[in-house]
Structure 1
């Protein structure tokens, strides 16, 4: 089974991470005569592209030919992949040994069209006290804020609505059927908008209700969390952007599908987490390696995250055309392009 792994990059600030990502893919072993083909798409940064071409002569380095941003870069890669399986790995993530083989194993089922795995955080120092406590698997309820698997996601192989962008794969043929990533969605530079993979997965299922999208937590990548993402400011900005992004997805595929997973998460997962954190405050405990202050931070972060995400969603749905761009600029996002 032919497989291509796509990595998208936009800044030399992540050079060491990018090298780690490429090496982690080059070390994967799959059941085919040749290893995975690696495609690196550079998003409108000629200096980075030239550096990558010198450093990785065995990698296909492409310039983003689409709109600036992650969706345009991914679509540029799809234009050169003509079959088999295409997997996506972030430029600041490194795949564990066996990652790709685990993903590919699920494609023996012809109804499986997409498979993703888990992303475990690599913290700058330690897990920040502003996030709720981690469970036994190291997952916290707000770890999605830093691009990682969160408590509330399945703990075993399960069908899901959508996959995480840093660790996902698809049959190449599904893009011929439904089109590529929506370039009106997705991250541009450091602006933390997203949900383009959510919109794509929903579109796939709407086109073919029998299509199976599978999450396998055993397919692991290690996602580096930069120091700027462990602050209250980033938490607010990221949750606001998530609300804006979900509003955009709802406008494209409908509110029922766009928010189905989020409704369950808000009703079932977050209240239990808040109760646990409040108990930790009262008892002076916050879980392993956490104290009363950390539990207080987690208890404060949960309603804050819900509030900012809800506000962003309302702004995106009812704020007119300026909703997304204006929302990003509210936290300085308008200035943080490449």
Structure 2
């Protein structure tokens, strides 16, 4: 496929850590190959898994479009992304989860947004694919971030946002030169406690480093993200909400509570009360799952609040530390 003349060059980074997602990883790479706007390269970064690294290296041996790399930093998603950034050659670096597939126009919609020179980052819409069947009746759409997807409350269309969501996002390469990379010590580390918010911390830092910079969410840039059976369980819902509170405490420590919790205030004072009201209304009208959704929202808020309080106390005692990531320098193609 001939690349469009004058379009920006995209490097797509996919971070992988387990052979259990082998078919998903291949599907993610294949979805990048099928883009209407072809990527310059796909960078597969393997997180401290020698067996997976060797297997993927063999799978894509001789493939000029795919480069397989070992995570050059500490274990975890943030360091894996930083490894991809440092090796990238594109004008824009896009990130795709290893268990997601992108629609054909994903990169094209990202590219259109960068026609505005003020735009430094663009995110898209992530739709859940419930592997074990349909969405559980008790699972509120307001909490789809629990499973790495776009949640009810995110404004529709192409709109300015405080931060993009890391599994479906893109950044100008120059943004990392200005603000550094993803912070290690905040985000996920393999199958350990499901922390997050590394992209939130980076985006806030980016806004401080580049006053006047614009970050956008374009809901036409769509990916489809698998939700495995174990993430349909209420125990995971509660644990992930608690971990989000811990992560938010780390973000607030890094960039201040004002910026760190700016979006969350609107979410907890407007979006979630409306969700509880809908659940109660559905219960009164005899619709399935209404009471469960209302109860899940209340439980999720309580779990996140507990995590935030504990994370704040730990931070005050000096029990948590993280690095804001390296300032990466462009490698010439």
Tell me the TM-score normalised to structure 1 length: 0.89
| Cα deviation digits, residues 157-206 of structure 1 (max 9, x gap) | 10000011110000011111111111121100123101000000000111
Residue 131 of structure 1 is matched in structure 2 by 139
Residue 162 of structure 1 is matched in structure 2 by 163
Secondary structure, aligned partner of 1:79 = helix
Unaligned runs of 5+ in 1: 133-139, 286-290, 325-338
Q: 1:78 to 1:90 in 2, by over 3 A?
A: same
Residue 261 of structure 2 is matched in structure 1 by 259
Secondary structure, aligned partner of 2:114 = helix
Question: Does 2:117 correspond to 1:110?
Answer: yes
- 1:1-338 paired onto structure 2 within 5 Å: 1-30=8-37, 35-57=39-61, 58=63, 59-124=66-131, 125-132=133-140, 140-190=141-191, 191-285=193-287, 291=288, 294-319=289-314, 320-322=317-319
How far apart are 1:283 and its partner, in Å? 1.4
* Cα distance in 2 between the residues matched to 1:45 and 1:105: 36
* Cα distance in 2 between the residues matched to 1:56 and 1:263: 45
| Cα deviation digits, residues 65-88 of structure 1 (max 9, x gap) | 101000010111111124400000
How far apart are 1:322 and its partner, in Å? 4.5
How far apart are 1:29 and its partner, in Å? 2.3
Unaligned runs of 5+ in 2: 1-7, 322-333
How far apart are 1:36 and its partner, in Å? 3.0
How far apart are 1:276 and its partner, in Å? 0.8
* Cα distance in 2 between the residues matched to 1:82 and 1:220: 24
- 2:43 and 2:88 in contact (8 A); partners too: no
* Cα distance in 1 between the residues matched to 2:234 and 2:319: 25
* Cα distance in 2 between the residues matched to 1:35 and 1:127: 33
Using the TM superposition, name which of 240-249 and 181-190 deviates more: 181-190
CA RMSD, 1 decimal: 1.4
Q: How many residues align?
A: 308
Q: 1:4 to 1:83 in 2, by over 3 A?
A: closer
* Cα distance in 1 between the residues matched to 2:297 and 2:151: 13
